[in-house]
């Protein structure tokens, strides 16, 4: 079992949305500049997140994405599962046919771990993460860095 880049980036992008939701719809370009994830990769993730009704898209000038529900109603598990990331630690993907069509010695151990991981991530909401001081500190650092980069670009243009 491993949480793939897809799941990690999806959680990061959704947390970015939650952290900046007071600004209105957030563009994928803004998330990309803060999180260092390509816009094209974010487009793929957000298509899945939209299909699972975790985000809404807003078209037109000032458009972008916003959370489809309250941050306290969206769990990390919801996000990971929406982008088809597996939280299954078994070799057989939970089918129970790991050893010649039957359970292997450790099937139940890994199955229990998968259940605990799903339960753990299901208990953590975006609101829980937003309220953490360490996450707020990272947000401030990222926002300052993006502002500084924009200033450098403006100075080069002028």
Long-range CB contacts (< 8 A, 24+ apart) of 83-86?
83/6, 83/7, 83/10, 83/45, 83/48, 83/49, 84/6, 84/48, 85/3, 85/4, 85/6, 85/7, 85/10, 86/1
| Residues in a beta bridge with 125 | 75
The pTM assigned to this predicted structure is: 0.87
For the chain, give the number of residues: 158
Q: Label residue 128 by pLDDT band (50, 70, 90).
A: very high
Answer yes or no: is pLDDT of 158 > 80: no
Torsion angle of C-alpha atoms 41, 49, 25, 136, degrees rounded to 10: -80
Q: Label residue 47 by pLDDT band (50, 70, 90).
A: very high
pLDDT in tens, 137-147: 999 999 999 88
Torsion angle of C-alpha atoms 91, 97, 101, 106, degrees rounded to 10: 70
Domains of the chain: 5-86+125-157 (1.10.10.10), 88-124 (no CATH)
Residue 125: φ, ψ to 5° = -95, 165
Helix axes 133-157, 28-35, angle to 10 degrees: 100
CA distances from 48 to 30, 32, 44 (A): 19, 17, 7
Q: Tell me which of 23 and 89 has the higher pLDDT.
A: 23
pLDDT in tens, 55-95: 999 998 889 999 999 999 999 999 999 997 777 788 777 77
Predicted confidence at residue 56, as pLDDT, reads: 96
Q: Label residue 101 by pLDDT band (50, 70, 90).
A: confident
Answer yes or no: is pLDDT of 121 > 60: yes
Answer yes or no: is pLDDT of 154 > 70: no
Of 110, 85, 78, 84, the C-alpha closest to 96 is 110
Q: Give the chain's mean pLDDT.
A: 91
How far from the centroid of its chain's Cα atoms is residue 48's Cα?
11
């Amino acid at each position: 079992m491993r949480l793939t880049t897809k799941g990690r980036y999806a959680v990061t992008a959704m947390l970015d949305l939650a952290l900046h939701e007071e600004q209105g719809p957030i563009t994928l370009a803004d998330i990309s500049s803060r999180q260092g994830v390509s816009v094209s990769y974010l487009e793929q993730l957000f298509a899945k997140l939209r299909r699972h009704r975790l985000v809404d898209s807003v078209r037109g000038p000032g458009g972008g994405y916003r959370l489809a529900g309250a941050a306290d109603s969206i769990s990390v598990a919801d996000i990971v599962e929406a982008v088809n990331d597996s939280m299954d630690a078994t070799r057989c993907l939970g089918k129970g046919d790991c050893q010649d069509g039957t359970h292997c010695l450790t099937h139940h151990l890994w199955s229990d771990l998968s259940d605990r991981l799903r339960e753990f991530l299901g208990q953590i909401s975006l609101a829980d993460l937003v309220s953490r001081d360490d996450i707020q500190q990272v947000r401030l650092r990222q926002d300052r860095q993006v502002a500084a980069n924009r200033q450098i670009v403006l100075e080069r243009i002028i």
